[in-house]
Amino acid sequence: MDNAVILREWYDRVDSNRSGNITAHQLQRALSVGNLDFSLSVVQQMIRMYDFDGNGTMNFEEFLALNKFLLKVQNAFTLKERGRGYLNPDDVYEGLVSLGFSLDSPSFLTVCESFDKNKRGMVLLDDFISLCIFVQSARNLFNSFDTTKQGRVTLDFNQFVYCTANSRI
């Protein structure tokens, strides 16, 4: 069976009210069935990343984009975890680089520490996905202000407030 057909069937089951859109609560419940436990705020961030029409929910096309991102992140995790079920900080860094994220050492260590729930140097799959969602969301937000594509932005106070208000995870 074609992957898109399988995803459509899954999506239709999650869209229990047949609205054509799924909410953060519906997506959170569906992901937990697959043993991916995310806080509601992380699931909301997933939706914001791919909410192309800006309605606060996820239609099927937006869901396909999210699914593609999640598969890339899961594959990066699988390649680096070596059967242990977790990534150490070096593995996290290599996984991020393989996904096209480049962070300097202080930024990486801060982000890695923030997503190591147990503070033992072991990042589990759902933590790695959350970390990647954070970094991708930060990139998207940064790019919206980096109009010259120079890798630098200058923000006034109002723009900074806007950024921080729109980057909640």
| 34 vs 84 pLDDT, higher one | 84
Axis-axis angle for helices 105-115, 89-98 (nearest 10): 110
Give the least confident one: 14-18, 31-35, 137-141, 164-168: 164-168
Q: How many domains does the chain have?
A: 1
Range of the domain at 10: 3-165
Cβ-contact 133, 46 below 8 angstroms:
yes
C-alpha 136, offset from chain centre:
7
Tens digits of per-residue pLDDT, 105-164? 989 998 988 888 888 888 989 899 999 999 998 888 888 888 888 888 888 888 878 776
Look at the pTM and tell me if it is higher than 0.85.
Answer: no
* Distance (Å, whole) CA 5 – CA 84: 32
Give residue 51's region: left, alpha or beta (phi > 0; psi -120 to 50): beta
Percent of the chain with pLDDT over 90: 46
pLDDT, position 2: 66
Half-sphere exposure for 149 (CA within 13 Å, toward CB): 0
Helix ranges (H only) for the chain are 3-14, 24-33, 40-50, 60-81, 89-98, 105-115, 125-145, 157-165
The domain that holds 151 is classified in CATH as 1.10.238.10
Q: Name the 3-class secondary structure at 87.
A: strand
